[in-house]
């Protein structure tokens, strides 16, 4: 899928729950939402002419009707700018004693026992430059057992699925809603030699979807908190007794609420990885072996 340009949508709503703004942006077609100071920023495929931008802004405001102080700014960003942007600043990173993540255009000299993930995220979220991804990868190292069945919700670039397979998982089910992320994820799976162990599907997951799935030894979900919270019951249900759940995409001021919500579902916190303003958590479901 080729996109000539992107509409950047910036929203500032100081008296509104940030999760509501994130949800509204995603509902009108936004990609992953990022915080830029007091602003929430997303990008949307070119909506076309004839008042399409005004219609998008009106649809956004309709989804947060109790916030009259909402500020909305728009600008265009060329696809070529994205191609430069996603490469900027990427470098090889050692995240654990044995795990290295590197872009494909940078050569590495792995040591004995090193596991190297070669990644081109392109338009998909998920590289070792973001604290949420780093936190998940550090928690996963030493957690996955040979032959485990894993679920990756919001797979993005498929970096967590790749890591799970390299750590020994027998099968990983990777679910991703964004159609633009799927080609990049598929390329990354092939590039790292794990495509035969990872099943990649485009789907916008609901709680009902998760409840309908079989239980997994481990479940991973690196999503914005606004997307993560509604899925917590389903994510907990998909985790087998004795299994584990790794969650990320959670800002430090959101952490206690998310932790409490997960523990209310019967899971127990086992570890927290804090990376800048981001928190990643490892939970266990009691029971099993």
- Compute the average pLDDT of residues 53-70: 82
pLDDT > 90: percent of the chain: 45
pLDDT value at 9 more than 60: yes
Distance CA(245)–CA(181), nearest Å, equals: 23
Q: Are 281 and 274 in contact (CB under 8 A)?
A: no
pLDDT band at 110 (very low <50, low <70, confident <90, very high): confident
- pLDDT tier for residue 129 given thresholds of 50, 70 and 90: low
In tens, the pLDDT along 235-267 reads 999 999 999 999 998 888 889 999 999 999 999
For residue 3, pLDDT over 70 is answered with no
| 131 CB-side CA count, 13 A | 16
Across the chain, mean pLDDT equals 86
Average pLDDT estimate for 268-281: 92
Structure confidence by residue, pLDDT tens digits, 172-220: 999 998 887 888 899 999 999 999 999 999 998 999 999 999 999 999 9
Residue with more model confidence, 85 or 205: 205
SS3 115: strand
Residue closest to 158 by CA, chosen among 176, 138, 177: 176
DSSP-derived 3-state class of residue 178 = coil
What local confidence, expressed as pLDDT, does residue 82 receive?
A: 56
Structural domains of the chain, ranges and CATH numbers in brackets: 5-85 (3.30.70.920), 93-284 (3.40.50.150)
Six token digits for residue 161: 């699925």
pLDDT digits (tens, 9 = 90+) for 15-31: 787 777 877 887 787 76
Helix H segments across the chain? 18-27, 52-63, 79-85, 131-140, 159-166, 181-191, 207-212, 225-238, 255-263
Which own/partner contact pairs does 205-211 have at CB distance under 8 Å and 24+ positions apart? 205/153, 205/154, 205/175, 205/177, 205/231, 205/234, 206/231, 206/234, 207/231, 207/233, 207/234, 208/234, 209/234, 210/153, 210/234, 210/235, 210/237, 210/238, 211/237, 211/238
The 8-class DSSP code of residue 98 comes to S
Q: 286 or 59, which is more confident?
A: 286
- Triad 78, 181, 136: Cα angle to 5°: 115
Task: Find out whether 86 and 122 touch, Cβ atoms under 8 Å.
Answer: yes
The predicted-structure confidence for 145-182, as pLDDT tens digits, reads as follows 999 999 999 998 899 999 999 999 999 999 998 887 88
């Amino acid at each position: 899928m080729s996109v000539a340009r992107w509409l950047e949508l910036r929203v500032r709503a100081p008296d509104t729950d940030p999760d509501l703004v994130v949800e509204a942006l995603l509902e009108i077609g936004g990609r992953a939402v990022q915080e830029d100071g007091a602003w929430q920023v997303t990008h949307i495929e070119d909506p076309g002419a004839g008042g399409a931008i005004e219609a998008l802004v009106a649809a956004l405001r309709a989804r947060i009707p109790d916030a009259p102080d909402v500020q909305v700014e728009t600008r265009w960003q060329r696809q070529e700018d994205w191609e430069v942007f996603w490469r900027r600043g990427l470098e090889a990173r050692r995240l654990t004693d044995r795990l290295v993540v590197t872009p494909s255009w940078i050569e590495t000299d792995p040591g004995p026992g090193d596991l190297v993930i070669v990644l081109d995220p392109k338009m998909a979220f998920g590289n070792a430059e973001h604290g949420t991804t780093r936190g998940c990868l550090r928690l996963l190292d030493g957690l996955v057992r040979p032959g485990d069945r894993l679920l990756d919700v919001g797979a993005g670039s498929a970096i967590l699925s790749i890591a799970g397979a390299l750590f020994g998982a027998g099968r990983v089910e990777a679910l991703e809603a964004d159609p633009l992320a799927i080609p990049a994820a598929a390329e990354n799976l092939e590039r790292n030699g794990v495509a035969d162990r990872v099943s990649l599907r485009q789907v916008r997951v609901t709680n009902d979807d998760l409840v309908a799935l079989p239980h997994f030894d481990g479940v991973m979900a690196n999503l914005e908190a606004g997307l993560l919270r509604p899925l917590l019951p389903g994510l907990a249900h998909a985790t087998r007794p004795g299994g584990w759940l790794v969650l990320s995409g959670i800002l430090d001021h959101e952490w206690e609420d998310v932790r409490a919500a997960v523990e209310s579902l019967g899971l127990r916190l086992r570890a927290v990885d804090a990376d800048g303003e981001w928190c990643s958590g490892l939970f266990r479901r009691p029971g099993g072996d």
